[in-house]
Every structure is written in structure tokens, then in C-alpha cells.
Amino acid sequence: MAHCVVSRAEAILDKEFPVLDKGFVRLVDYLGGDERVVQAARVSYGAGTRNYREDAGLIDYLLRHHHTSPFEQVVFTFHVKLPIFVARQWIRHRTARVNELSGRYSVMKDDFYLPEAGDVALQSDDNKQGRRDEALEAGEAEQVRSALERGQREAYERYRGLVDRGIARELARIDLPLSLYTEWYWQIDLHNLFHFLKLRLDSHAQKEIRLYARVILDIARQAAPRCCESFERHILGAVSFSQDEFAELTRRLAAKAPNPGSNADKDSNAVDNAGPALSGKSLERFEIKLNTGRQL
């Protein structure tokens, strides 16, 4: 298989794309792009790459039918600077290879994430792991920011005091807060990157990790634009229905658009046989999917 060089990806190698107040993402290296995916898919019968439309159609077909192995042929290596609380969410995706900055070997920098005032909000009433959409009033938000910044400063001063006394770095670091920035090299193939992006670009993901995911998707587009376009159309922007939800959808469509020439009794029976009606939270989730396109 020939080496695939993508000029748009080459142009952004080692360029820092800022995220949050002090973070960034850099594309360190990549292996292949759209061409590598279609080459891998066609190797079984020896055909080379074809024209743009045929290649795009093949990529669409592969994604729609969950043929994932050709996408595993494309690999990205990112250098990421991110707060530790974001890293702890990120590392749950165990399909990547990671090398992280070690506080046992290195003295940690005085770099902490401080949210913007517009991102400071109360705990959500209906989402146990998220914040409300409405930010606090400006004055109250600044009080919260000041408290966070004061705690970060005091923690770092204690840390440096211990390091300067010669206390082992692996002990001195243990009281540093989750807002401290860390860095890592993160290597992942395109198939598993799409899974990461599907989850971390969802509206239910924490805002801070969503911002990183958006930048990574923008970077991936430079190497594999057709793959990313297909991902956005068939996965990121798609909604799936459970068996009961599909029955509810069938019922509604049958009620709105009866078959030509059918009588009312027959149409009514078709609706009744579509399955049990949804109610409660199940109905609420279904309505959200229909009205917003959000996958719950």
C-alpha cells in the first residue's frame, strides 16, 4: 500500500490550536487519510483508488454498514495540553495509546484552568452530572472564580514549598487540584476517534471536553475530509430509535399518511398494531429526538 501524504495535514503539523485558557491541541503525526481508507477497503479485489464520487460513495457505504477496519488504517498522534479533570474523562476511552507528563519526574507548572464567568452555573436539577444552561449573575460568578483562583494559588504555593524542601515530587504533588494542566501524547485510529467524537461532541458531555473534541474534529478533517463529512452526516448528526420508539414512529406515520384506497378501520388497525404506546420518560426522550435530533 502506497504512503499517503495529505498536503492539508502536512500544513498544520506541530501547529498549536488553542483550547480553553491555557490548553492546546497539536497534530504531531498522522498515517494516511481518505485515500488510505479506500485503498484498504479495495485491497481484497486489487482495485486501486477511483474518482472522487466513487471514493466518497465507498466511504459512506463503509460507515453506514459499520465496516470499521478500513478506518483503523488511518492513525493520528496528538499532543494535548488539558486540565486534569478533562483528562480523567478523556482517558475512559481506552482504545488509544497515551504517554502523559509525570509529576513524579517533573516539577509541575503553575498552570490552572479558570472557567470564564459565562461558564459558571449551578448544578442542573435534572442532570446529576452537569450544570444548568443559565450562568450565574456576573458578580456571583466572579466571586466563584476568585475562590477557585485563590485555592489554586494556595495549593501551588504549598506544592512548591514542599518541592523546595526536597520532599519527593511524587508526594508533593498529591494535593494539587484537578484544574491543574497536564500534557500527553494521544495516538488513536480514525474508527476509534469517531467513537470518541460521537460521545464527546454530544450536548450531554461537559463543555470543556466538547471544546477539545471540536478542535480535534477540525484537525482530522484536514487529513480525511470525506471520512469526516460522512461521519458527521451518518453518525454525529444521526439519531437511532429503539424498537418501541420505532413502533411509535410507525404509528404516527400511519395516522398522518393513510395508504391510498384504504378504509378508516384498516388504517386504525395498522396504527393499533404498531406496538405499545410510549409514556412517561420514554415518551419524553422520543419527543426530544424528534424535535431536536439529539440522541439520548
Residues catalogued as catalytic: 200
Alpha-carbon span 227 to 202, nearest angstrom? 19
126 near 200, Cβ under 8 Å?
Answer: no
Which H/E stretch holds residue 296? none
The C-alpha cell of 63 is what?
Answer: 460507515
Residue the block writes with cell 457505504: 61
Alpha-carbon span 110 to 285, nearest angstrom? 44
Beta bridge partners of 78: 27, 186
List C-alpha distances in Å: 171 to 102, 105, 158, 180.
12, 11, 12, 16
Alpha-carbon span 173 to 155, nearest angstrom? 9
